C-alpha cells in the first residue's frame, strides 16, 4: 500500500521534469564514448605534436599493433597474451573463491559468536593495515615462485572486504525478522540459513565486487615478485626491454578484464538478489 | 470449514491447576527496561489479563504504554520481571507452537515466494511437528489463491499482511497474537482486512489478541476491548461489545452500542492522557 502511495507522490514532479530533460537510452554510453574520444585525441596530439619519445609515451598505433600481435595469434601461441592471461586469471579465480569462501564463513562465525569476534576481529584489522606489497615477498618465500603464491595473494586481498561486509550484513539483519524466527522456535542454524545469510547477501556481494578486482591485483603483485608465467611477468619482460607499447597493451587488456569481471559479478548479483 | 481445530490435548487436563477455561491468564505482570543513563523505565505494571478459549480481545492504549511489550511477553519473545503468564494452562517461558504471531509490518522474507513464506513455520523449529494446514487451502481462505508463486514485493500491503496471517495460522496455533497488523494500511483497505479477519476468526475459532490504535477497529472486531493506561501501562477498563456476529462494518458503525462504546473508549484514553 505504502508503495502505491509513494509512486503516486513521486510521479508528479517527475512528470513535470520530463519534457525539459530529454533522455534517450544511448545517452550514457554516448557520454563514455565521448570521454574516450577526448582522451585518445589528446593522447595523439601529445605524441605527434610534442616530440615525446615513443619509449615514454607510445602512439596509439603502436599500442594497437602490440595488442594485435598478442591477440591475433592462436590461443596456445607462446608469444601471445592468452597463455599468461589464462595463468593469471585462473590463479586469481582460485584465490578469489578460497578467500571469499573463508571470509564468508569466518565473517558469519564472527557475527554469530562474540568470542570468535573478540578473537579474530583485531587480527583481521591488523592484517588489513599491513601494506600488502610488503607481505607479498614473505608469501613468495613461504609458497615459492609457483602458482600457490599467486593464489595466496589473491585470497589474502579478497578476504578482508568480504569478511567485513559479511559481518556487517549479518549484524544488521532486521530485528523483526529475528523476532519472527524466535517466535517460530527456530534454531540458531535455521535462523542463520533462512534469514541472516539471505539478509546479508547484498552486503556480501558488495564485498565480493570489491574483492574481485583485488584478487587480480594480488595475483599480479605476486607475479611481479617472481613467477615463471602470468600477465605480470609479461609486463616485467616488456619493461625490461623498454617495450612500452606492449606494457600499454597489457594494461588495456587488464582494464578490460577488470570491467568484464565487475560486470560478471553484477550480473550474478542481479540473478541472485531479486528483491 | 475444515480449519476448525479440535483442542484435545489430554495431557493438559491433568496439568491444569486452575480449573478456569482461560486460554490466556496473566497475573501481576511487570516489565522494566534499563535506560541509557542507568535508570529504568517501567513499561508494564500490575497487568492482569484473562482471555477465554475462542475469544477475540482487542487492546487499545496510548503510544508507548507497553502494548507491544505485553504482546512480546505473551508470545514468549521476552520474559517479565515478575508475574506469571499461563497459556492453555501452561506457564509461558518461551515461544510456543500454540501461539502464532502477526507483526506490524508483515515481515515476509522478500527472497521467498508467498507460498514459501507461508510454509516457513513448517520448515523450522524442530522435529515435534504438530498438525499443519495446507498452504494452498490457507491462501485460498485468505483470498490469495493463485498468488502463491508471487514474491512479496509483487503484492499490495494488504495482501502481504494477509499472507503473514496465513503464516501465523499454518501450524494450527490455538492463539493468534497481532500487534497493529493493519497499522500501515489505508482506511479502506483496513476495513476490508477487518472484515477478512472476522471471517477467518469465525472460520477457525482461534483465540485472538489484537493490539490496535484504531478504536473503531477494536470495537468492530472484538468481544471485549481492553483499555490500557499511559506508561507504566496496565489494564484500566474491560468493555464487552454487545454486537451480534457476523458484523458488517457499515451497519456496525451506525449501531448505538458501537457509538456509545467507541465514545467510552475515547474518553478513557483521553482521561489517561490528561492526568
Ligand atoms: N527494548 C527496549 N528497551 C528499552 N525500552 C523499551 C524497549 N522496548 C520498549 N521500551 C519502552 O517501553 C515502553 C513501552 O513500549 P512498547 O513498545 O511496549 O509501547 P507500545 O504501547 O507498543 O507503543 P506503540 O503504540 O507506540 O507501539 C516505551 O516507553 C518504550 O520506550
Ligand atoms: Mg507497539
Under 8 Å CB-to-CB from A78, ≥6 apart: which residues?
Answer: none
* Cβ–Cβ contact B149 with A under 8 A: no
Give the nearest partner residue to A176 out of B94, B107, B152, using CB atoms. Answer: B107
Tell me how far the alpha carbon of residue B211 lies from the centroid of ligand 2, in angstroms.
8
B174, B98 contact by CB (below 8 A): yes
Indicate whether A34 belongs to any domain. yes
Inspect the interface and report whether the beta carbons of A190 and B94 lie closer than 8 Å: no
Whether A132 and A264 share a structural domain: yes
Whether A13 and A115 share a structural domain: no
Whether A134 and A26 share a structural domain: no
pLDDT recorded at residue A22 = 55
Whether A45 and A95 share a structural domain: no
Q: Apex CA A85: angle with CA A83 and CA A90, to 5°?
A: 100
Whether A145 and A30 share a structural domain: no
- B101: which chain A residues are within 8 Å (Cβ-Cβ)? 179-180, 183
Q: Which residues pair with B102 in a beta bridge?
A: B178
pLDDT recorded at residue A21 = 54
Q: Apex CA A182: angle with CA A176 and CA A188, to 5°?
A: 110
Q: Which domain holds residue A29?
A: 2-52
Confirm or reject: Cβ of B74 under 6 Å from ligand 1: no
Q: How many Å apart are CA B135 and CA B14, to the nearest integer?
A: 34
pLDDT recorded at residue A11 = 38
Whether A38 and A89 share a structural domain: no
Whether A183 and A246 share a structural domain: yes
CATH number at residue A169: 1.10.3720.10
pLDDT in single tens digits along all 275 residues of chain B: 344 344 433 333 333 344 447 899 999 999 999 999 989 999 999 999 999 999 999 999 999 999 999 999 999 999 999 999 999 989 999 999 999 999 988 999 999 999 999 999 999 987 666 677 889 989 988 889 999 999 999 999 999 999 999 999 999 999 999 999 998 888 888 998 899 899 989 988 999 999 999 999 999 999 999 999 998 899 999 999 999 989 999 899 999 999 999 999 999 998 877 65
> Percentage of chain B surpassing pLDDT 70?
91
Inspect the interface and report whether the beta carbons of A177 and B97 lie closer than 8 Å: no
Q: How many Å apart are CA A230 and CA A250, to the nearest integer?
A: 11
Indicate whether A133 belongs to any domain. yes
Indicate whether A74 belongs to any domain. no
Whether A181 and A240 share a structural domain: yes
Indicate whether A237 belongs to any domain. yes
Whether A14 and A111 share a structural domain: no
Whether A110 and A38 share a structural domain: no
> Domains, chain B, ranges and CATH?
42-98+173-275 (3.40.50.300), 108-172 (no CATH)
* Cβ–Cβ contact B79 with A under 8 A: no
Inspect the interface and report whether the beta carbons of B124 and A194 lie closer than 8 Å: yes
Residue with the three cell numbers 573463508: A102
Under 8 Å CB-to-CB from B61, ≥6 apart: which residues?
Answer: B67, B227, B228, B229, B230, B233, B269, B272
* Cβ–Cβ contact A121 with B under 8 A: no
Name the 3-class secondary structure at A23.
coil
Atom 24 of ligand 1, residue of closest alpha carbon: B63
Q: For the whole model, what pTM was predicted?
A: 0.83
With a cut of 50, list the residues of chain A below it in pLDDT: 1-19
Number of domain units in chain A:
2
Closest CA–CA distance from residue B109 to any residue of chain A (Å): 8
Q: How many Å apart are CA A179 and CA A28, to the nearest integer?
A: 44
Confirm or reject: Cβ of B231 under 6 Å from ligand 1: yes
Indicate whether A75 belongs to any domain. no
Whether A46 and A90 share a structural domain: no
Indicate whether A67 belongs to any domain. no
What single string gives the DSSP state of each residue in chain B?
-TTPPP---HHHHHH--S---EEEEEEEEEEEEE-TTS-EEEEEEEEEEEEETT-EEEEE--TTSSHHHHHHHHTTSS--SEEEEEETTEE--S--TTEEEE-SS----TTS-HHHHHHHHHHSS-S-------HHHHHHHTT-TT-TTS-GGGS-HHHHHHHHHHHHHTT--SEEEEESTTTTS-HHHHHHHHHHHHHHHHHH--EEEEE-S-HHHHHHH-SEEEEEPSSSB-EEEEEE----SS--HHHHHHSHHHHHHHHHHHHHHHHHHH-
Indicate whether A64 belongs to any domain. no
Whether A35 and A164 share a structural domain: no
B195, A38 contact by CB (below 8 A): no
Indicate whether A69 belongs to any domain. no
**Long-range contacts, stretch A90-93, CB < 8 angstroms, 24+ apart:** A91/A147, A91/A150, A91/A151, A91/A154, A91/A219, A91/A230, A92/A150, A92/A154, A92/A215, A92/A216, A92/A218, A92/A219, A93/A215
ipTM greater than 0.95: no
Confirm or reject: Cβ of B104 under 6 Å from ligand 1: no
pLDDT recorded at residue B13 = 39
pLDDT recorded at residue B129 = 67
Characterize the bridge pairing of strands B207-211 and B40-52: unpaired
Report the Cα–Cα distance between both ends of chain A, in Å, rounded: 17
Confirm or reject: Cβ of B103 under 6 Å from ligand 1: no
Tell me how far the alpha carbon of residue A125 lies from the centroid of ligand 2, in angstroms.
40
Give the nearest partner residue to B110 out of A1, A182, A275, using CB atoms. Answer: A275
Under 8 Å CB-to-CB from B159, ≥6 apart: which residues?
Answer: B144, B147
Amino acid at each position: 500500500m505504502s508503495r502505491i502511495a509513494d509512486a503516486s507522490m513521486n510521479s508528479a514532479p517527475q512528470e513535470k521534469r520530463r519534457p525539459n530533460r530529454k533522455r534517450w537510452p544511448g545517452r550514457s554510453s554516448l557520454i563514455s564514448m565521448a570521454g574516450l574520444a577526448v582522451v585518445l585525441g589528446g593522447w595523439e596530439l601529445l605524441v605527434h605534436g610534442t616530440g615525446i619519445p615513443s619509449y615514454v609515451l607510445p602512439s596509439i598505433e603502436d599500442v594497437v599493433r602490440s595488442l594485435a600481435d598478442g591477440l591475433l595469434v592462436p590461443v596456445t601461441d607462446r608469444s601471445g597474451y592468452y597463455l599468461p592471461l589464462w595463468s593469471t586469471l585462473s590463479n586469481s579465480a582460485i584465490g578469489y573463491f578460497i578467500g571469499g569462501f573463508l571470509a564468508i564463513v569466518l565473517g558469519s562465525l564472527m557475527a554469530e559468536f562474540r568470542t570468535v569476534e573478540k578473537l579474530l576481529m583485531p587480527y583481521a584489522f591488523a592484517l588489513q593495515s599491513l601494506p600488502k606489497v610488503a607481505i607479498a615477498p614473505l608469501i613468495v618465500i613461504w609458497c615459492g615462485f609457483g602458482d600457490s603464491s599467486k593464489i595466496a595473494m589473491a585470497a589474502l586481498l579478497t578476504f578482508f572486504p568480504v569478511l567485513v561486509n559479511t559481518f556487517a550484513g549479518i549484524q544488521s539483519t532486521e530485528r523483526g525478522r529475528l523476532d519472527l524466527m524466535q517466535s517460530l522456535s527456530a534454531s540458531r542454524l535455521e535462523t542463520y540459513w533462512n534469514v541472516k545469510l539471505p539478509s546479508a547477501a547484498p552486503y556480501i556481494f558488495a564485498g565480493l565486487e570489491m574483492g574481485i578486482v583485488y584478487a587480480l591485483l594480488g595475483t599480479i603483485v605476486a607475479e611481479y615478485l617472481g613467477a615463471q608465467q602470468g600477465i605480470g611477468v609479461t609486463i616485467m619482460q616488456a619493461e625490461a626491454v623498454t617495450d612500452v607499447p606492449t606494457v600499454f597493451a597489457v594494461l588495456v587488456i587488464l582494464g578490460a578484464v577488470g570491467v568484464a569481471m565487475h560486470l560478471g559479478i553484477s550480473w550474478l548479483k542481479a540473478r541472485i538478489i531479486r528483491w | 470449514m475444515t480449519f476448525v481445530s479440535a483442542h484435545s490435548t489430554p495431557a493438559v487436563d491433568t496439568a491444569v491447576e486452575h480449573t478456569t477455561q482461560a486460554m490466556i491468564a496473566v497475573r501481576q505482570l511487570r516489565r522494566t527496561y534499563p535506560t541509557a543513563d542507568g535508570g529504568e523505565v517501567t513499561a508494564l505494571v500490575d497487568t492482569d489479563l484473562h482471555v477465554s478459549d475462542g475469544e477475540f480481545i482487542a487492546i487499545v492504549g496510548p503510544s508507548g504504554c507497553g502494548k507491544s511489550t505485553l504482546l512480546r511477553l505473551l508470545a514468549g519473545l521476552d520474559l517479565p520481571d515478575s508475574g506469571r503468564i499461563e497459556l492453555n494452562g501452561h506457564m509461558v517461558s518461551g515461544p510456543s507452537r500454540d501461539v502464532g504471531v502477526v507483526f506490524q509490518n508483515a515481515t515476509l522474507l522478500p527472497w521467498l515466494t508467498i507460498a514459501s513464506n507461508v510454509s516457513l513455520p513448517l520448515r523450522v523449529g524442530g522435529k515435534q511437528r504438530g498438525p499443519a494446514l495446507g498452504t494452498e487451502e490457507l491462501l485460498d481462505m485468505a483470498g490469495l489463491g493463485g498468488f502463491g508463486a508471487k514474491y512479496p514485493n509483487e503484492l499490495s500491503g494488504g495482501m502481504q499482511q494477509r499472507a503473514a496471517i496465513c503464516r501465523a495460522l499454518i501450524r494450527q496455533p490455538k492463539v493468534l497474537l497481532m500487534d497493529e497488523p493493519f497499522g500501515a494500511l489505508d482506511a479502506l483497505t483496513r476495513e476490508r482486512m477487518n472484515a477478512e479477519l472476522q471471517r477467518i476468526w469465525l472460520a477457525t475459532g482461534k483465540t485472538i489478541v489484537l493490539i490496535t490504535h484504531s478504536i473503531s477497529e477494536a470495537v468492530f472486531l472484538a468481544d471485549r476491548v481492553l483499555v490500557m493506561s499511559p506508561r507504566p501501562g496496565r489494564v484500566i477498563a474491560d468493555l464487552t461489545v454487545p454486537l451480534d456476529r457476523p458484523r458488517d462494518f457499515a451497519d456496525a458503525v451506525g449501531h448505538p452500542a458501537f457509538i456509545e462504546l467507541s465514545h467510552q473508549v475515547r474518553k478513557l484514553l483521553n482521561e489517561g492522557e490528561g492526568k
